[in-house]
Structure 1
């Protein structure tokens, strides 16, 4: 089985969309299945949970993390924490996922958090900025698995024109440089568009340098 950084696999060149680098179909089907197997071990150690927004509303996306830090939300606000809500440390980021970061991020530092979002068919993610990190010169790398998600890219401030594209299983997106603080979100999931996960849904992995 090919690893994500194996030169024997011909990788597609990225397409730039509003400063985001989109690598369509960057992962082969075998690599996607291998990532999913890695994630099962992470989820066994740190199960998915449903975050609460500061307003007290539960998010439609369930999540967990791997790495030194995990992203968390409750009535106190959005932040990174060093333990799962159960009190255990987050599990390590699998090597296969780290290999994708090394291949596409363009930076030397290793990610300190792999946020794992699970989108059931009716889930979405509102337009937001990733700005809970300390160093905005470090990119965010996004990996899509499972059903298609309609991804929308906005501007560095709310409002104005936006651009949308479908992210499909195996796609990789790099959000960095001048586009690092652009608003973005997932408007909807297209159910039953991928057979990677028998029960359907979409998994999105986002790798971040936190400190």
Structure 2
């Protein structure tokens, strides 16, 4: 397989089993952003309702075998987009290549995601500390790609009360975590009023690749 993401800085350890890959996806960001727009044309961004009745400040869509959704019934993966009643858009080959290569460069070989949650942040949007624990397979890592405006990533510990470390994520940065850090609490601080990027304006996008289902091994794209 051609290594499309070979030229980048060495991974930075942010916790045991967790790595920051600076600028890892920068070169391919225009293609990734174009694909995000195509996905949103099929499954528009929306602000999910939490089980407690609060509207999330970030907007979400997704692609792959299923996507993460939230409403008063709880958090879960759904194979159909509840707004369109149709299957979620397919996971693009370039998304899969990026996530798999980033995971391998962070020490997690043979990672093949089956879902990608896409978050869109505007001024003031945030994500509180949480665990990614709705997946059936915790042996697979999480791969998170940042595109657009700078945003501060919060990475804590196994307990919500642990004080999180703060990492400024720039356009094209990728974070990979798994193993001992797989269930660490994490989130993002509110997007600042002056945050902006030439490709996205005052918005930041995040692609979060996961393996949501056990024994789901999609064929690797040629």
- Give the TM interval when normalised to the shorter protein: over 0.9
Given the two structures, how large is their TM-score scaled by the length of structure 1? 0.92
8 A contact 2:144–2:207 mirrored in 1:
yes
Q: Secondary structure at the match of 1:64?
A: strand
Residue number in structure 2 paired with 1:63: 60
1:1-211 matches, within 5 Å, as 5-6=3-4, 10-19=7-16, 20-28=18-26, 30-85=27-82, 86-105=84-103, 106-190=108-192, 191-198=194-201, 200-211=202-213
Q: Deviations over 1:158-193 (max 9, x none)?
A: 212321011111000101110000000001213433
CA contact (8 A) 1:107 1:138 kept: no
Paired residues, number = 205
Shift of 1:108: 2.1
Paired with 1:110 and 1:11, the residues of 2 have a C-alpha distance of: 21
Q: Structure 2: state its 5+ residue gaps.
A: 214-222
The worse-fitting range, judged by mean Cα deviation, of 141-150 and 104-113 is 104-113
CA distance in 2, matches of 1:104, 1:56: 36
CA distance in 1, matches of 2:34, 2:164: 35
Q: Following superposition, which runs of at least 4 residues in structure 1 exceed 3 angstroms of deviation?
A: 190-193
Inter-partner Cα distance in structure 2 for 1:77 and 1:112: 21
Q: 1:115-167 CA deviation, whole Å, 9 max, x = no partner?
A: 00001111000000000011111001000001111111111012123210111
- Would the alpha carbon gap of residues 22 and 109 (structure 1) be closer, same or farther in structure 2, given more than 3 Å must change? closer
The question of whether the paired residues in 2 share the 8 Å contact of 1:61 and 1:125 is answered with yes
Q: Distance in 1 between matches of 2:111 and 2:124?
A: 35
